[in-house]
Amino acid sequence: MTNNNLNNSTDWAKQAYAQLKQKQEQQKLEQQKQEQQKLEQQKLEQQKQEQQKLEQQKLEQQKQEQQKLEQQKLEQQKQEQQKLEQQKLEQQKQEQQKLEQQKLEQQKQEQQKLEQQKLEQQKQEQQKLEQQKQAEEIIKKDQDFINDTKPKLGKFDEEFTWSAMVLAAQGKKVDQISLDEIDWLSRLKRGLEETRKGFVSELLDKLGDDPLTPETLDDLETLLLRADAGINSTDKVMNSLRKKLNEEVVGGEEGIKFLKEELISILEEPILNSKKKILVPEEGKLNIWLIVGVNGVGKTTTIGKLAHLSTSSNYKTLIAAADTFRAAAVEQLIVWGERSNVDVISNKSRNADPAAVVFDSINSALKRGTELLLVDTAGRLQNKNNLMDELSKIRKIIDKKVPHSNVESLLVLDASQGQNGLKQAKGFAKSANLSGAIITKLDGSSRGGVSLAVSLEVNLPIRFIGAGEGIRDLRPFNSFEFIEALLADK
């Protein structure tokens, strides 16, 4: 080798060395790079794994939490379920207790009700027994006196003279006067004695023969009120009298005459309105008279007397015993029926339906060609039944079955009950479709004035008046005779 060559080879070696070194460094760099890459890859791998692990852990955690939550939820649901069931059970228990309590309460109430019913029943039976006793007494009453259908001519005395004069004042001729009429007027006058005693005698004393003065009018006002004429009737009469007194001098006798006219006009007003001067059955047709009123006023007795009046005038008559409540009411009617030979249609079974009795009676009446069917009705019922409902039921049956019959609904009033009778009339008038009134027991009462109140305040025509317990002690109402008897001076 030459130097040149040598020099060249050193360079070459240098170059080779440098190249090798470069190569080596390159390799090293490469290696480093690869290692770097490897490391990074490992790192990435690790990170990835950690990431995955973390995610897995997270997922696991979430899953666990989810499971925990679900378990909690389940637990909660279970608890709620249990709570609900417990509440339900509690509720059921309470309801059961409540039901049992209600049942007990109900049983207690029923027990009480039963006891009350038993007491009520005992009370009613007691009442029935008492009524039965009363009825037996009424039936046993002096038969001869009650049955005395034929009047006898008495003495020629003041009573006869007064009766004959009352008849003459109504235009009767001597040969037209009957013993029946004289007999009735005497009874009426006698019957009204009590009212007269408290009213007329004092009045006549006060009036005397002197002219009327405002003071005597004040006294008259008090007397009318005391005889139960009622405030309205009294006011009406007093206003007319005061007006007359303002216009002229009125003597005692003239005053009485004017007073009588005023009283008659009050009684006549509802009669005129009804267009029937007196109430008589229409011949050849079925006439049905319902006799209504509170207990004890004289309904059954009045039916007995009406049956007598009716058969005496040759009307074909029948009685319906539609008071099925009162003990022995049927027996009482049968006794009255026998007195005038009138049949009584009844149903003796206890608490029979009154409307059914009326139904049967109408059938009998139609078969027999009855002209007057007299219907006795109850004056009192068991508490639960309403008297007015029962009367309207009876009325409905009649209107449906015999719509063309002449129906009268007559209210019986006991004169001795005075203003109380007026209250009854107002009560019945509201719901019982009344067409007239019958005033009983005018005898022995000082309250005959109630007839005026009934005429004026309830506008009911008075159709009959009763003045005694005998069969002849009931007659068609005649306002003139009534006022004459009421104001008779002796």
Element (H, E) at 376: strand 372-377
Report if residue 187 touches ligand GTP, rule: CB under 6 A.
no
Helix axes 419-431, 387-401, angle to 10 degrees: 50
Report if residue 296 touches ligand GTP, rule: CB under 6 A.
yes
Distance CA 328, CA 131 (A): 8
Q: Using the rule CB under 6 A, which residue among 301, 317, 340, 409 binds ligand GTP?
A: 301
The residues near 411 (Cβ < 8 Å, ≥ 6 apart) are 292, 293, 424, 425, 428, 429, 432, 434, 436, 437, 438, 460
Report if residue 440 touches ligand GTP, rule: CB under 6 A.
yes
What 3-state class would DSSP assign to 465?
A: strand
Residue type (1 letter), 351 = N
Report if residue 183 touches ligand GTP, rule: CB under 6 A.
no
Say how far residue 451 (Cα) sits from the centre of its chain. Answer: 27
> CA distances (Å), 474 to each of 165, 193, 261, 358, in order?
21, 16, 24, 25
* Minimum CB distance to ligand GTP, residue 488 (Å): 19
For Mg ion, the closer of residues 195 and 300 by Cβ is: 300
* Minimum CB distance to ligand GTP, residue 293 (Å): 6
User: Which partner in ligand GTP, Mg ion, none is near 471 (CB below 5 to 8 A by kind)?
Assistant: none
How do the residues of the chain divide into helix, strand and coil, expressed in percent and rounded to 5? 65, 10, 25
Report if residue 473 touches ligand GTP, rule: CB under 6 A.
yes
Report if residue 138 touches ligand GTP, rule: CB under 6 A.
yes
Contact 474, 151 (CB under 8 A): no
Q: Considering only residues 358 through 397, tell me which ones interact with ligand GTP, judged by CB under 6 A.
A: 379
Distance CA 374, CA 463 (A): 15
Q: Given the rule CB under 5 A, which of 24-32, 34-42, 222-230, 294-302 is the region that contacts Mg ion? A: 294-302
* Minimum CB distance to ligand GTP, residue 414 (Å): 8
User: Residue 438, Cβ neighbours under 10 Å: how many?
Assistant: 27
User: Which partner in Mg ion, ligand GTP, none is near 377 (CB below 5 to 8 A by kind)?
Assistant: none
Q: Using the rule CB under 6 A, which residue among 163, 300, 317, 324 binds ligand GTP?
A: 300
Give the HSE-up count for residue 328: Cα atoms under 13 Å, Cβ half-sphere.
17
- Span between the terminal Cα atoms of the chain, in Å: 206
User: Residue 246, Cβ neighbours under 10 Å: how many?
Assistant: 8
Phi first, then psi: give them for residue 340, nearest 5 degrees: -115, 10
Q: Given the rule CB under 5 A, which of 35-43, 74-82, 291-299, 466-474 is the region that contacts Mg ion? A: 291-299
Distance CA 244, CA 426 (A): 32
Report if residue 279 touches ligand GTP, rule: CB under 6 A.
no
* Minimum CB distance to ligand GTP, residue 467 (Å): 6
127 CB-contact burial (10 Å; exposed 0-12 / middle 13-18 / buried 19+)? middle
* Minimum CB distance to Mg ion, residue 329 (Å): 5
Report if residue 287 touches Mg ion, rule: CB under 5 A.
no
For Mg ion, the closer of residues 333 and 355 by Cβ is: 333
* Minimum CB distance to ligand GTP, residue 105 (Å): 40
> CA distances (Å), 410 to each of 269, 355, 464, in order?
17, 17, 10
Location of structure tokens 């009462």: 445
For ligand GTP, the closer of residues 212 and 320 by Cβ is: 320
Contact 455, 267 (CB under 8 A): yes
For ligand GTP, the closer of residues 371 and 469 by Cβ is: 469
User: Which partner in Mg ion, ligand GTP, none is near 473 (CB below 5 to 8 A by kind)?
Assistant: ligand GTP
Contact 388, 373 (CB under 8 A): no
Report if residue 127 touches ligand GTP, rule: CB under 6 A.
no
Report if residue 262 touches ligand GTP, rule: CB under 6 A.
no
Q: Given the rule CB under 6 A, which of 164-172, 342-350, 403-411, 463-471 is the region that contacts ligand GTP? A: 463-471
Which two structure tokens, joined as six digits, stand for 223? 């007397």
Q: Using the rule CB under 6 A, which residue among 255, 436, 449, 468 binds ligand GTP?
A: 468
Contact 456, 268 (CB under 8 A): no
Number of residues lying near ligand GTP (CB under 6 A): 22
DSSP letter for 175, please: G
Contact 463, 427 (CB under 8 A): no
For ligand GTP, the closer of residues 228 and 371 by Cβ is: 228
Q: Using the rule CB under 6 A, which residue among 9, 240, 295, 433 binds ligand GTP?
A: 295
For Mg ion, the closer of residues 266 and 432 by Cβ is: 432
Q: Given the rule CB under 6 A, which of 28-36, 50-58, 115-123, 462-470 is the region that contacts ligand GTP? A: 462-470
Q: Given the rule CB under 5 A, which of 81-89, 244-252, 293-301, 303-311 is the region that contacts Mg ion? A: 293-301
* Minimum CB distance to ligand GTP, residue 336 (Å): 9
User: Which partner in Mg ion, ligand GTP, none is near 138 (CB below 5 to 8 A by kind)?
Assistant: ligand GTP
Q: Using the rule CB under 5 A, which residue among 186, 300, 417, 424 binds Mg ion?
A: 300
DSSP letter for 295, please: T
Interaction site with Mg ion (CB under 5 A): 299-300
Interaction site with ligand GTP (CB under 6 A): 138, 293, 295-301, 323, 326, 329, 379, 440-441, 443-444, 466-469, 473
